[in-house]
Structure 1
Amino acid sequence: MTILSLISKNQTDDGQKYAHLEQLFKTAIRDGILKPGEKLPPLRAAAWEAKCSLGTMSRVYNSLERKGLVSAKVGRGTFVEEAANIGADVILPNPQHSRREHPLKNDYTVDLGMNAIANDWGEEIIRWALQRTSTKASSFNLMTYRDGFGDAQQKLALRAFLPEPLRGINDDRILINHGAQNGVYTALGRLSSPGDTICQEPLSYPGVSAAISQLGLSSLTVETDDQGICPISFEQHCKKGRVRILVTTATGHNPTCITTSLSRRKEIGAIARKYDVLIIEDDIYGFLYPDAPPPYAELFPEQAIYLSGLAKRITPSLRIGFAVAPPHLTMLMAQGITAQTWMVSPILINAAIEIASRTDDLTDFTRQTTATAKERHNLTSRILSPYIDSYASCQSHAWVRLPETISISQLVRQTSKAGVHILDGSRFANNTTAGRHNIRLSIMAPETIQELEKGLIKLSTILSNPNENSFDFF
């Protein structure tokens, strides 16, 4: 069977041709109907068999490319990736690739791509916590299998990392996992079924789309505005009866920097409750927003799952995260943890408990990070403002819109040659139009503000001369 015959035999009239066709192609690649290196049919031929527009089929091909399943070769067509390459760089492109391909003298690369928060304190405290764990933890904790649901005393100790509105909940609503990404994957895998549709924002952290794709689920996007998800658009999708889960980042959104207001959260939660849609809220940056509205899990405890972790707060190496949900859902997710890895490492859990005891240090770090973020956002705005259309910032990153005359892909290549790693906004897109004229800058990642300034000056120089070769300036 060919992919064209598969398309012809699997028509849909339910108005969701895009999602249906994308799933057909993904299944064909997974099952070997489309083999590694094989060329996809021309858009016109595929659209004809599917009885859809060229625009719809183009959107399908673009989505498959964004997810790392295929690659487009200029003038040659679109080809299925080799098995070893499928999914490569699907969450974030590897800056090492561009450094090897475009070396500029022996200059140090300023990485504004990976959304990290540089801090010396994180290294100091993780070393301290691991040392304490090695001498204090009991043999029962260090040498015994535990189940995925976790220990009540451990959960009690780790509540210090939850936002204030959630610290008084019962331990049967808390699950310790391997971080927010693991929480997203586990929740999607355990709480959805084949045929369910996952609703996303037009722009989001790429790890969500990667999880949806790997689990073989379908997705659609909901419209957003400057307050986040648009209630009218969300309800229109819910009325069609296909949405099972909504995934959102309501505080310090990555990449748009939006924090959804309390009134908007209440509107979205009420719609989710009305249509029995589960809300998964990724709150990995929430600790930087102590005055943010309560999470969905507080406002709608039977309808929402709260996810966070310590990767941004302490260090990416501390793979500990938390889920807060109704007890029957945390139990389902615990079964998923057990099936994947049996349990979260007791060593890491005990290290996190040690860190949780340093409440004054945690508070000071958050305060210092917020102050540093303000300084860096002001610097970024001052250096780039002459060359950009709009600039949004939050505590970890900036979302920059560039004039349509600027080629984003060319800009990314030029800055890479100049020793600055940035991300194309389309890396975060869940449809074909979002983020096309944007870049995301992780301005908290450089270790010093001087390093950030160096990278921003290079970026501004290229933006002021977009048609010149970056080698002419550096």
Structure 2
Amino acid sequence: MTNWLPNLSSGTGPLYLRLADQIESDIERGVLAKGAKLPPQRNLAFDLRVTIGTVSRAYALARERGLVSGEVGRGTYILDHGRGMPQAGPALASSGMEGTREMEAPAGKLHFDATAAPDVGQGETIAALSARINRDHPHEAASYTRRFPDRWAQAGSRWLARGSFRPEPHCIVPTLGAHAAAVAIISAVTAPGDHIAFEHLTYSQVARSASLVGRRIALIRSDEQGIVPEDFERVCAQRHPKMVFSMSAVQNPTVATMPEARRIAVAEIARRYNVWLIEDNLYGALTDDPSPLLVELAPERTFHVGGLSKSVAAGVRGGWVACPPNYERRIQVAHRMLTGGLPFMLAELSAQLVLSGEADAIRARCVKENNARLALTHDALAGFDLRSCPNIPFVWLELPEPWLSATFKNAASEEGVLIDDADEFKAGRSDQVFHHVRLGISAPRGREEAARGLAIVRRLLEHGGAGYDSYD
């Protein structure tokens, strides 16, 4: 569609921004279809009577928004956005959520592709509590959950508490884990077509779920200290996201932890641009990080999420949200609509684990086991560049030349070890390249199995590149 000529007479702001907005608007309205070619920059600049630099900046901004692709020598083409709305296909084509892959993976594979709490014998405690719940609440266990006992919120208030943060029980919503909590928040507080901001690498299942419910993804750059505030502000100014998903303590997969100054900056930017915050603190619950939480810095706009999957038992699906004032009912309704409702057995089990003190005891055992496996990992992979954090069940491994992330993942799989490459954590199309893989060290069934898998990984790192052939 090289004869496309936008009307820039309306709107406010610089011409390049209005032109980029017009491209996005015409994609949403179907004026610019998938695969359509935009006019050459020089031609459009002549027709609009603007400089070629203005058109170039607009096209670059459209590429940054994921609307178009520029091919040297061929031009700029509209990508497939379903008239501005993400499609379900790509999101579903990726691998499943952590904890679901075991039934999909070939038998005999060693799992380093999940980070659930390690098996430290918590099954006995869970079995005993489940039997007691069935005995004491037979009617509730056999029926639908129609009420939320106060103890469920009290358990969430206790589990989410960190440092000086003590959320009030009336602000707590019990959920089917942290993932369901995040999707419920996005669904309740934003609308289809809104942008949700994520780091380039993050727990991407939330981003893919957001796409499935019609939200669009905006990407924020980060470094070894987490979100880069300057880039967050740029995204807020250009993309106007309604919400940002953040892991301020022990980011997955990079293990970055935001220092206090950055957290303050992120909170101030979010307040200035009226952006909601989701603070996922699943891994933070395993640390003694003294930095203030985002929810403490911006309580009026932060949904603080936590759960039991990394610290106690992923199969329990226990999670909670500490909501800003007056939002708990909206999140509770959205969660019920998206999940079908909270099972009494799981909610009661989660609450009893926390209120009895058993969750704290299991967490302490998990931390001890994680640290033993971290020591094992550092010994097994000595000499290679690992990023890790005490108590945390994964490491971020930088690959030596000539390995690429996806190629190494495939090579490891052929050797019987399942790991996650960098693409698994990309929230959307990214121009950043990461030659890393994540190793989930809590997934192997025991340290002996972990040692076997790590030995295979080391052998590939040292000798595999020259001999690995990806062709059949």
- TM-score, with structure 1 as normaliser: 0.78
Using the TM superposition, give the Cα deviation of residue 212 of structure 1 relative to its aligned residue in structure 2, in angstroms.
1.9
Moved more, 13-22 or 115-124: 13-22
Aligned match of 1:354: 352
Alignment correspondent of 2:387: 391
Can you give the 5+ residue segments of structure 2 that lack an aligned partner in the other structure?
9-14, 42-54, 70-78, 81-86
Distance 1:128 1:272, change over 3 A: same
Separation in 1, partners of 2:251, 2:25:
26
Match of 1:369 in 2: 366
- In structure 2, what is the Cα distance between the partners aligned to 1:124 and 1:396? 22
Structure 1 match to 2:94: 89
- State how far apart, in whole Å, the 1-side matches of 2:94 and 2:320 are: 26
Contact 2:197 2:243 in 1 (8 A): yes
Task: Note closer, same or farther for the CA distance 1:206–1:385 as it changes in structure 2 (3 Å cut).
Answer: same
Structure 1 letter corresponding to 2:113: G
SS of structure 1 residue aligned to 2:173? strand
Following the alignment from structure 2 to structure 1, what is the Cα–Cα distance between the partners of residues 337 and 312? 27
1:419 aligned onto 2:416: yes
| 1:233 alignment counterpart | 231
Q: Report the CA distance between 1:405 and its aligned residue.
A: 2.1
Sort the Cα spacing of 1:211 and 1:84 in 2 relative to 1 into closer, same or farther, 3 A: closer
Structure 1 residue 191: Cα displacement: 0.4
SS of equivalent to 2:455: helix
In the aligned structure 1, how far is the partner of 2:371 from the partner of 2:244?
Answer: 31
> Which SS does the other structure have where 2:127 is aligned?
helix
- Give 2:121's aligned residue: 121
Q: Who is 1:409 aligned against?
A: 406
Shift of 1:204: 0.3
Q: CA deviation at 1:182?
A: 0.7
Per-residue deviation, 1:432: 2.2
In 2, the alpha carbon distance for the partners of 1:453 and 1:122 equals 23
CA distance in 1, matches of 2:285, 2:268: 25
Distance 1:342 1:455, change over 3 A: closer
Which AA in structure 2 matches 1:133?
I
Contact 2:295–2:304 at 8 Å: present in 1 too?
A: yes
User: 1:312 Cα shift?
Assistant: 2.1
Aligned to 1:214: 212
Q: 1:289 to 1:364 in 2, by over 3 A?
A: same
Q: Which runs of 5+ in 1 are unaligned?
A: 35-39, 63-68, 71-81, 101-105
- Deviations, residues 11-67 of structure 1 (Å, cap 9, x unaligned): 996379699769959x99xxxx99xxxxx75xxx646699847993996689xxxxx
Residue pair 1:305, 1:324 contacting (<8 A) in 2 also:
yes
The AA in structure 2 aligned to 1:232 is E
The aligned runs of 1:179-194 (5 Å cut-off) are: 179-194=177-192
Pairwise CA distance, 1:165: 4.5
- 1: CA distance, partners of 2:238 / 2:139: 54
Say if 1:144 and 1:259 are closer, same or farther in 2 by CA, change over 3 A: same
Does residue 137 (structure 1) correspond to residue 137 (structure 2)? The answer is yes
**What whole-Å deviation, never above 9, does each CA across 1:289-344 have from its counterpart, x for those lacking one?**
13342322233211200011222222222122100012322221122123334531
| C-alpha displacement of 1:265 | 1.4
Aligned residue number for residue 171 of structure 1: 169
Structure 1 residue 90, shift from structure 2 partner: 4.6
Contact 1:252–1:259 (CA under 8 A) maintained in structure 2: yes
Cα distance, 1:357–1:193 mapped onto 2, change above 3 Å:
closer
- Please say if 1:257 is aligned against 2:255: yes
The separation in 2 between residues aligned to 1:446 and 1:259, in whole angstroms, is 26
Alpha-carbon separation, structure 2, partners of 1:153 and 1:23: 51
Which of 284, 287, 292 is equivalent to 2:285?
Answer: 287
What is the CA-CA distance between 1:433 and the residue it aligns to? 3.5
- Distance (whole Å) between structure 2 residues aligned to residue 16 and residue 362 of structure 1: 54
Q: Secondary structure at the match of 1:439?
A: strand
Matched letter for residue 391 of structure 1: R
CA distance in 2 between partners of 1:228 and 1:86 (Å): 25
Q: Tell me, yes or no, if structure 1 residue 277 matches structure 2 residue 297.
A: no
**Separation (CA, whole Å) in 2 of partners of 1:276 and 1:300:** 11
Tell me what 2:451 maps to.
Answer: 453
What TM-score results when the alignment is normalised by the length of structure 2? 0.78
Q: Report if aligned partners of 1:22, 1:60 keep a CA contact under 8 Å in 2.
A: no
Q: What is the CA–CA distance in structure 1 between the aligned matches of 2:379 and 2:60, rounded to whole Å?
A: 44
- The whole-number CA distance in structure 2 between the counterparts of 1:99 and 1:181 is 22
Distance 2:103 2:25 in 1: 28
Q: Which residue identity does 1:261 align to in structure 2?
A: P
Shift of 1:144: 5.8
Contact 1:235 1:271 in 2 (8 A): yes
Distance 2:260 2:307 in 1: 23
Distance 2:88 2:241 in 1: 31
Question: Identity across aligned pairs (percent)?
Answer: 21
Q: Give, as a single letter, the amino acid of the residue that structure 1 aligns with 2:17.
A: D
Secondary structure, in 3 states, of the residue corresponding to 1:131? helix
Letter in 2 for 1:418: E
CA distance in 1, matches of 2:112, 2:38: 39
Q: CA RMSD in A?
A: 3.9
Give the AA of the match of 2:110: V
Q: Secondary structure at the match of 1:243?
A: coil
- Deviation string 1:238-285 (CA, Å, 9 cap, x unpaired) is 234712111101112100101222232122112212222111011112
